[in-house]
Amino acid sequence: MTRFSEELRREADPIYRAIFDHPFVRGIADGTLRKEQLIHYVKQDFEYLNAYIRLYGIAISKCDSRDTMALFNEQISFILHSETHPHNNFCSVAGVSYEQLQGYPLAPSANHYVRHMLSVAHAGTLEDILAAMLPCPWTYTEIGAKLLAEVKPDRSHPFYDWMHFYGSFEGGITEKMRLLLDERAESLSPDRKKRLTEHFVASCRLEYMFWDMAYTLEEWPVSAAQTEGAGR
């Protein structure tokens, strides 16, 4: 029997391929990203990952097993203590400190992505949350593996650390989340599966838009009188 998550992956394949071909991802491969693009990415991704931590918090509140609670708890620690490495890689290439890039408001596409996941999480069950959260680790796992295989970076490549960080994700959190979702999807109606597919595909599209936002330095077209707060 085909795994439910495999059906999701197939449905989103054109979006995955567009992400692999996106100029920001190509720019990681060939080391040609501009300083401002790296800075915009890190500012936005710092706030995005804060939201992702909150999502794990909501997921924990809807969990019925200790093992799953423990997995989400470990993932929160991983984001807090390890996922700072790829950000630091971008900061050192851009020649800026990481602290300087924290606390900025979310740009339109990052805001859209975060709102999508949070509204699914607040209204939904654990499987809704998993479907909306999965594209985050899954697309990065595949990007990392592809870039390592294609570029075979040596230590002199500016994004060596970035590629190795995400390239080592294979078999990790993506597979664990997939198993949780596959197991729960077995007893779901076709309508519910369709809903989960919509959450997943929306997050994949927003992954693409996140890369595009960073590449084009997307910002809100009109500014407000007051400086806005951080991206909550």
Ligand X SMILES: Cc1ncc(CO)c(N)n1
Residues carrying an active site annotation: 136, 207
Q: Give the other-Cβ count within 10 Å of 217's Cβ.
A: 13
Least Cβ distance, residue 40 to ligand X (angstroms): 12
Q: Pick the closer one to ligand X by CB: 45 or 182.
A: 45
Nearer to ligand X, 140 or 159 (CB): 140
Minimum distance, C-beta of residue 110 to ligand X, in the bound complex (Å): 7
Q: Report residue 166 as tokens.
A: 């995400």
- CB-based contact 27:90 (threshold 8 Å): no
Site residues (CB under 6 A) for ligand X? 45, 48-49, 136-137, 140, 207, 210
In the complex, least distance from residue 18 CB atom to ligand X, rounded to whole angstroms: 15
Q: Single out the residue of 104, 165, 161 nearest to residue 137, CA to CA.
A: 165
Question: Which residue in the shown chain puts its C-beta closest to ligand X?
Answer: 136
Is 120:129 a contact under the CB 8 Å cutoff? Answer: yes
Least distance CB 190 / ligand X (angstroms): 29
Taking the complex as a whole, how short is the minimal distance between the CB of residue 90 and ligand X, in angstroms?
Answer: 11
**Helix 66-81 and helix 35-61, axial crossing angle in degrees, nearest 10:** 160
What backbone phi and psi angles, to 5 degrees, belong to 208? -60, -45
Pairwise CA distance, residues 53 & 46, whole Å: 11
> Residue 180 or 203: which CB sits closer to ligand X?
203
Nearest to 209 by CA among 109, 70, 93, 102: 109
Ramachandran bin of 98, using left for φ above 0, alpha for ψ from -120 to 50, beta for the remaining angles? alpha
Calculate the CA 88 to chain-centre distance. 17
